[in-house]
Amino acid sequence: MAETIKALLLGDIVGQPGCRAVFIGLKKLIKDYKADVVLVNGENSADGFGISPENVQMIFSSGADAISTGNHVWQKKEIYPLLESRAELLRPANYPKKAPGHGSCIVDVKGQKIAFLNLQGRVDMPNLDCPFAVAKDEVRKLRKDTNIIIVDFHAENVEEKEALGLYLDGQVSSVTGTHTHIQTGDERVLSKGTAYMSDIGMTGPMTGVIGSKSEEAIQRQQTQMPLKMEIEDVPATLNGVLLTIDKKSGKALSIERISKKSL
């Protein structure tokens, strides 16, 4: 029996191109990388903003074991009942308790329990509960069942992301970021065994501005008007990471950057 778990994490699915890339390419990616478990951030899958029940169905049927989200999760109201009922569909755990849904789950993969925890940053983002305090409580709770804990920290600011990574070092298997849509080059295993990367990038079109058409994006910057961003309609790139985790200790052995252009 293998002594390690391979976890594939994919960053924010952006609109139709991102959904197409997941639908066409995720199963092959899982096979090629021999991934045992898959986490996908789906908060931008519905035309770039939010996630619909149809998106959830497609992402799970393409091979994901859990879906994380972020600040755009509230965009489509029809998702709220699913946030309550579907254990593996997460919203950041540090939203106020009155918000629908939950921020962590445990999945069973070939007899091995693996926990996922979704958190959101507060720098240049909504003023949520402290992600550090919520992480501490959640990790304490999750470690009663498993020491393999994978954290998606949906946040804007690298300082905040690195601080959380180091705060949780040795307590969780990984802390990786989503939200900026741009993959960073700082992947590493921290000194106490937590894999870290500031942002794993998006599953979306790479030719525009963070997945959107460049014309509107440039105009937005020039005019400072809240112009609606349209998603680029070109094949997406699947960006993410592959983690190798020691089953017994829950510590990460490696983190490898993935960037695969879809058809």
Three-state SS for 106-171 is EEEECCEEEEEEEEECCCCCCCCCCHHHHHHHHHHHHCCCCCCEEEEEECCCHHHHHHHHHHCECC
DSSP code per residue over 172-224: BSEEEEESS----S--EE-TTS-EEES----EE-SSSBTTB-HHHHHHHHHH-
Is 71 among the residues that bind Fe ion (CB under 5 A)? yes
Is 6 among the residues that bind Fe ion (CB under 5 A)? no
Structure tokens at 209: 């501005």
Q: Does the annotation count 72 as an active-site position?
A: yes
Residue closer to Fe ion (CB basis): 6 or 179: 179
Q: Cα-flanking dihedrals φ and ψ of residue 138, to 5°?
A: -65, -45
Is 92 among the residues that bind Fe ion (CB under 5 A)? no
State the Cα–Cα distance between residues 161 and 164, nearest whole angstrom: 5
Choose which of 76, 86, 91, 179 interacts with Fe ion (CB under 5 A): 179
One character per residue 16-55, x = contact with Fe ion (rule: CB under 5 A): ----------------------------------------
Residues 181-220 that bind Fe ion (CB under 5 A): none
Least spacing, CB of residue 195 vs Fe ion, in Å: 21
Choose which of 15, 42, 70, 204 interacts with Fe ion (CB under 5 A): 70
Residue closer to Fe ion (CB basis): 120 or 194: 120
Is 104 among the residues that bind Fe ion (CB under 5 A)? no
Tell me if 114 sits within 8 A of 4, measured CB to CB: no
Of 70-78, 191-199, 228-236, 255-263, the segment contacting Fe ion by CB under 5 A is: 70-78
DSSP type of residue 49: S
Residue closer to Fe ion (CB basis): 71 or 262: 71
Residues with a known catalytic role: 72
